[in-house]
Structure 1
Amino acid sequence: MHTPSAPAKDVLSADRLCLRFGAVEALKSVSLTVREREIHAVIGPNGAGKSSLLNCLSGFYKPQSGAVRFNGADISALVPHKRAGLGISRTFQGIQTYPSMTARENILTGYHLRMKTGLFSALLYWGRVRAEEEAFARRAEEIIDFLELEERRHEIVGDMSYGLRKRVDLGRALALDPKILIMDEPMAGMSAEEKGDLARFILDIRDGLGIPVVLVEHDMEVVMDISDRITVIDFGQVIACGTPAEIRTNDAVIAAYLGGAQQ
């Protein structure tokens, strides 16, 4: 007898977020739900409110009303590092690496929020600290292998190509052992080959690591190829949410954003 699979659980959600900067309404009652093992893209014209939404999800902006929930718990009051400690990891439009450090050293810096031993504990319990550091070092090597950086692990990041530096930046985000990954325009400025590589890694993060991804991206070909669901924002409001096939044929989306891209 076939047993139907359980519906995917909601991991991260925004519930009617309203965000204002003076007289400017950046978000107008925006809701979004990201399910487990899902790549959920957020698209829209420049200035639509996409990055503002990501900043509300990760705690950098505090909306005037609405709520953000993570695994069912209201986290609206938590600051960014507290949300990161829960497993909400974030990459930004710009590169956040340390250019004078190696790829491996950069990835290891991503573990600082997970350190359980402070200075006092380190003085009293050196063995425990050593074990923790060794565990992080092993995990960093796993991330290096996952992102195919084996031959670059000891290379200075500032000497790397743009695409490789973005890959190291992704490695730092993965070092947080995230329960969900938020990515803001990760492919901006990349060549077609670099975009293809990163798209493959994002799929592997979902399929191999089981980590859901929230993705803001302007490359519609990539979005349509790798997303499970897409939310479309225009002038701070959600105008559509659905599968790539549904979004492609949505009249409101075509009029507001896609337009001739569907020809």
Structure 2
Amino acid sequence: MQSGDEPAAAVLEADALCLRFGAVEALKSVSLRVAPRQIHAVIGPNGAGKSSLLNCLSGFYRPQSGAVRFCGQDISALVPHKRAALGISRTFQGIQTYPSMTARQNILTGYDARMRTGLFSALLYWGRVRAEEEAFAAKAERIIEFLELEELRHALVGDMAYGMRKRVDLGRALALDPKILIMDEPMAGMSAEEKGDLARYILDIRDGLGIPVVLVEHDMEVVMDISDRITVIDFGQVIACGTPAEIRADERVIAAYLGGGSA
């Protein structure tokens, strides 16, 4: 049990990340700390470095200096699929689903990183393989129910409305049994109703599943409503970090958004 004044151990940490592309400094000593059961939003003007930070956290970019730690382990050298196997799941700005497959089949593809049986066992279809497949199928059904996709479980994703495809994409990320979920602009292109539904699922992921979320999102109303903590980046630097109320009143944040931050 943590004492009242002792912070909980971080699930995911970025420590002084510096990322350069030639002469361009995308990140300048950026640090981030995500606590258990926390929705931690990362905001900033376009081009501020938000997606670069997410790519460093998930392993798609390797910063020139700094470290990324997951549950206390330095994972800076791990490639994306190794981080996914540890429990770091991610959704992207674009939809990463298979349109010719059903919602259920798409969600089941998310379990590939969790498979423990090898090709030889699969070819012989040993009992262990069968048991593993049945367990994954049951988990997929729980995700379908969690995301209220029951009526669409056997529908082709390519025939679905945009918001439903995004929901299936989220289900595939949840199939990794993540210890943390990273979401890059999940509400881009959604209607107000679809945003409301997705915000509710994100809160349920934190409260019901106990999974912390790192969220990059441009809809400030949503960010302020659902986030526990917010980190603000401008020109590749952290200019503020705090609760929504603290961020809303921070003069540096106001200047970045209203006074001509990076394009």
Note whether the superposition's TM-score is higher than 0.5: yes
Displacement of 1:119 in angstroms is 1.3
Aligned to 2:51: 51
Aligned to 1:206, what secondary structure does the other structure show? helix
Displacement of 1:130 in angstroms is 0.3
Q: Which one-letter code corresponds to 2:107 in the other structure? A: I
Aligned to 1:162: 162
Aligned to 1:257: 257
Q: Which one-letter code corresponds to 1:118 in the other structure? A: G
Q: Which one-letter code corresponds to 2:67 in the other structure? A: A
Aligned to 1:64: 64
Aligned to 1:28: 28
Q: Which one-letter code corresponds to 1:13 in the other structure? A: E
Aligned to 2:113: 113
Residue by residue over 1:117-172, the C-alpha shift from the partner in whole angstroms, topping out at 9 and shown as x without a partner, is 11112245611000000000000000000000011100100000000000000000
Residue by residue over 1:87-146, the C-alpha shift from the partner in whole angstroms, topping out at 9 and shown as x without a partner, is 000000000000000000000000001011111122456110000000000000000000
| TM-score of the two chains, using structure 2 as the length reference | 0.96
Q: Give the Cα–Cα distance (whole angstroms) in 1 for the partners of residues 90 and 216 of structure 2.
A: 12
Q: Give the Cα–Cα distance (whole angstroms) in 1 for the partners of residues 216 and 206 of structure 2.
A: 16
1:113-262 equivalence runs, <5 A = 113-124=113-124, 126-257=126-257
Displacement of 1:6 in angstroms is 6.4
Aligned to 1:10, what secondary structure does the other structure show? coil
Q: Give the Cα–Cα distance (whole angstroms) in 2 for the partners of residues 75 and 211 of structure 1.
A: 19
Q: Which one-letter code corresponds to 2:108 in the other structure? A: L
Q: Which runs of 4+ in 1 moved over 3 A?
A: 3-7
| TM-score of the two chains, using structure 1 as the length reference | 0.96
Structure 2 unmatched runs, 5+: none
Aligned to 1:80: 80
Residue by residue over 1:201-251, the C-alpha shift from the partner in whole angstroms, topping out at 9 and shown as x without a partner, is 000000000000000000000000000000000000000000000000000
Q: Which one-letter code corresponds to 1:179 in the other structure? A: K
**RMSD (Å), alpha carbons:** 1.4
Aligned to 1:12: 12
Q: Give the Cα–Cα distance (whole angstroms) in 2 for the partners of residues 174 and 31 of structure 1.
A: 26
Q: Which one-letter code corresponds to 1:51 in the other structure? A: S
Q: Give the Cα–Cα distance (whole angstroms) in 2 for the partners of residues 140 and 70 of structure 1.
A: 26
Aligned to 1:100: 100
Q: Which one-letter code corresponds to 2:97 in the other structure? A: T
Q: Which one-letter code corresponds to 2:82 in the other structure? A: K
Aligned to 2:11, what secondary structure does the other structure show? strand
Q: Give the Cα–Cα distance (whole angstroms) in 2 for the partners of residues 109 and 253 of structure 1.
A: 40
Structure 1 unmatched runs, 5+: none
